[in-house]
């Protein structure tokens, strides 16, 4: 027995040289401890120290002089023993209008390496909204926010409105149509609805269906159902009092089409002057109504829809301080049109999602944006709110052409997580809050969709940090 044990021990130790040797991993770490740009500024003599976030593998620098040689950036870095950067110089190509750029540097210690994202920012005035600091007041099906606002069920709530102070909820739910204060919504409180006095609200396939909110004034339209059914628009200056009623016999309006109220586009200025547009259910014609001093709604005029095949849920939104409008439908591209239906420019069907609806052009703090809410017409389509930066371009037509040709991605996107929507009433809205000097301070954005709920976003202006 002792001989056998001795043989086994001898055999074991005699084979020790054949066992695998552990790699000394400590000599091959690839950690970036600190980093500097050592050729910043016009003369290339500036030194700028960065901040390394090892958790996210990101490096940030203070804003850099625009005269820095960005084609030949030189870094000085403290790294793990034996590690080096993969290049001696790096290039960052800033295109016209760009103020930020991200490049990748690699820390290598053969056979290992690690990549870091280096964010470079120019020391120039900044414009637009800072979507990295957005506040979201959610009442949609998205689990990240508050519970779904309860009346968004069974397609009972198809219309909403937004003017920065109130959200309008147009609903056939037993709760009744009402307003919510944006200030309450921002606190997570939706328990204080301001009910609308519905005295005299009657007639139509549905007595109420869609609506709009502007400068403290509330408008709701019925679903007329056809030329034999009256088209009625209700207007409240005070939600506690009975509304003013404007009624139209569509059968007497040449070219008006049939069944109005599936969509409702309110376009009025601070004095209460402008137009209301209603596309007919057949997607063939648009009915335009003139609004004067908020109260007078008259002078009906009908014209052929600007883009064929737009569908039943169209929108017609004025670009502020112009006579141009953005037209969309749930099966038509975003288009630039006049108040009489003349087409100036139509984007391609696939430039942005074809279900993009209620498109609006916004000017804020020196930048220009396009906002849309998509409609989930099939099981493969989401209900999303999206913001596109369309600042580049001398005109809106130029801007839309650039967006069309470049196929740019949204700069901000949020999912309302709505279900398949067979009656896709989808809305957007916005409000620009000014500071005491009348300058743009923050941008409020709004999105809603049938059975998906509504959400408000508060976005501050960009500021140099």
Domains recognised in the chain with CATH numbers:
25-121 (2.60.40.2340), 131-460 (2.120.10.30)
Give the contacts of 13 (CB within 8 A, at least 6 positions apart).
none
For residue 21, report the phi and psi dihedrals to the nearest 5 degrees.
-95, 130
What's the pLDDT at 464?
Answer: 83
Q: What is the pLDDT of residue 309?
A: 87
Contact 28, 82 (CB under 8 A): yes
**DSSP one-letter code for 97:** T
For the chain, the distance separating the N- and C-terminal CA atoms, rounded to the nearest angstrom, is 80
What is the C-alpha R_g of the chain? 30
Question: Are residues 227 and 251 in contact, defined by beta-carbon separation less than 8 angstroms?
Answer: yes
- List 317's β-bridge partners, or say none: 326
Q: How far apart are CA 318 and CA 275, in angstroms?
A: 9
Residue pair 69/44 in contact (Cβ under 8 Å)? The answer is yes
To 10 degrees, the CA torsion angle through 23, 27, 31, 36?
A: -160
Question: Which candidate, 360, 353, 390, places its Cα nearest to that of 374?
Answer: 353
Secondary structure of residue 13 in the 3-state scheme? helix
Predicted TM-score (pTM) above 0.85: no
Cβ within 8 Å of residue 26, ≥6 positions away: none
Closest by Cα among 162, 168, 145, 124 to 463? 124
CB 452 within 8 A of CB 416: yes
Tokens at 458, concatenated: 């508060």
Q: Distance between CA atoms of 213 and 230, rounded to whole angstroms? A: 22
- Report the C-alpha gap between 31 and 83 in whole angstroms: 8
* Residue 396 · residue 319 · CB < 8 Å: yes
H/E element, 420: none
3-class DSSP assignment, residue 6: helix
Q: Which of the 8 DSSP states describes residue 252?
A: G
Q: How far from 320 is each of 147, 224, 269, 270, 431, CA to CA, in Å?
A: 34, 30, 9, 11, 12
Note down pLDDT in tens along the chain; length 465 residues.
444 444 444 444 444 444 444 444 445 899 999 999 999 999 999 999 999 999 999 999 999 999 999 999 999 999 999 999 999 999 999 987 788 899 999 999 999 999 999 999 999 998 999 999 999 999 999 999 999 999 999 999 999 999 999 999 999 999 999 999 999 999 999 999 999 999 999 999 999 999 999 999 999 999 998 888 899 999 999 999 999 999 999 999 999 999 999 999 999 999 999 999 999 999 999 999 999 999 999 999 999 999 988 999 999 999 999 999 999 999 999 999 999 999 999 999 989 999 999 999 999 999 999 999 999 988 788 999 999 999 999 999 999 999 999 988 999 999 999 899 888 889 999 999 999 999 999 999 999 999 999 999 999 999 987
Q: How many residues does the chain have?
A: 465
Where does residue 426 rank: exposed (0-12), middle (13-18), buried (19+ CB within 10 A)?
buried
Half-sphere exposure of 114 (CA within 13 A, CB side): 18
Report the pLDDT value the prediction gives residue 225, as an integer from 0 to 100: 83
Peptide bond into 410 cis (omega under 30): no
Q: Which phi and psi angles does 224 have, rounded to 5°?
A: -65, -35
In contact, 212 and 168? CB cutoff 8 Å: yes
Tell me, what's the pLDDT at 27? 59
Residue 229: per-residue pLDDT? 86
Both tokens assigned to 200: 């005299």
pLDDT for 17 equals 45
Pair 426, 448: CB distance under 8 Å: yes
């Amino acid at each position: 027995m002792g001989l056998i044990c001795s043989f086994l021990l001898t055999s074991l130790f005699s084979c020790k040289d054949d066992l695998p040797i552990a790699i000394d991993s400590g000599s091959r770490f690839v950690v970036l401890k600190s980093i500097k740009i050592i050729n910043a500024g016009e003369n290339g003599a500036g030194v700028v120290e960065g901040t390394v976030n090892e958790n996210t593998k990101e490096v940030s620098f203070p804003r850099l002089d625009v005269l820095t040689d960005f084609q030949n950036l030189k870094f000085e870095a403290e790294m793990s023993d034996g590690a080096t950067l993969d290049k001696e110089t790096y290039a960052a190509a800033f295109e016209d209008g760009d103020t930020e750029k991200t490049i990748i540097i690699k820390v290598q210690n053969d056979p290992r390496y690690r990549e870091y994202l280096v964010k470079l920012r120019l020391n120039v005035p900044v414009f637009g909204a800072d979507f990295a600091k957005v506040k979201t007041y959610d009442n949609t099906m998205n689990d990240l926010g508050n519970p779904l606002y309860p009346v968004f069920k069974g397609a009972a709530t198809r219309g909403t409105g937004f003017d920065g102070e109130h959200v309008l909820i147009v609903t056939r739910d037993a709760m009744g149509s009402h307003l919510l204060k944006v200030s309450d919504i921002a606190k997570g409180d939706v328990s204080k609805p301001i009910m609308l006095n519905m005295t005299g609200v009657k007639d139509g396939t549905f007595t109420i269906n869609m609506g709009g909110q502007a400068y403290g004034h509330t408008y709701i339209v019925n679903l007329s159902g056809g030329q034999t059914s009256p088209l009625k628009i209700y207007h409240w200056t005070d939600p506690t009092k009975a509304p003013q009623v404007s009624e139209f016999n569509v059968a007497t309006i040449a070219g008006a089409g049939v069944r109005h109220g599936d969509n409702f586009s309110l376009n009025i200025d601070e004095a209460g002057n402008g137009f209301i547009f209603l596309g007919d259910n057949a997607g063939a014609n648009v009915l335009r109504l003139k609004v004067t001093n908020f109260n007078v709604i008259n002078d009906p005029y009908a014209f052929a829809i600007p883009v064929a095949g737009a569908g039943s849920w169209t929108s017609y939104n004025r670009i502020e301080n112009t006579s141009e409008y953005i037209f969309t439908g749930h099966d038509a591209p975003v288009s630039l049109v006049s108040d009489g239906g003349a087409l100036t420019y139509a984007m391609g069907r696939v430039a942005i999602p074809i279900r993009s609806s209620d498109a609006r052009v916004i000017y804020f703090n020196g930048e220009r944006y396009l906002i849309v809410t998509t409609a989930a017409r099939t099981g493969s389509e989401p209900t999303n709110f999206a913001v596109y930066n369309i600042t580049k371009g001398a005109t809106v037509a130029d801007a839309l052409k650039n967006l069309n040709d470049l196929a740019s991605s949204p700069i901000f996107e949020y999912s309302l997580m709505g279900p398949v929507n067979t009656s896709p009433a989808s809305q957007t809205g916005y409000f620009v809050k000014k500071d005491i000097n009348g300058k743009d301070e923050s941008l409020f954005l709004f999105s809603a969709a049938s059975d998906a709920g509504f959400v408000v976003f508060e976005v501050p202006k960009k500021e140099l940090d």
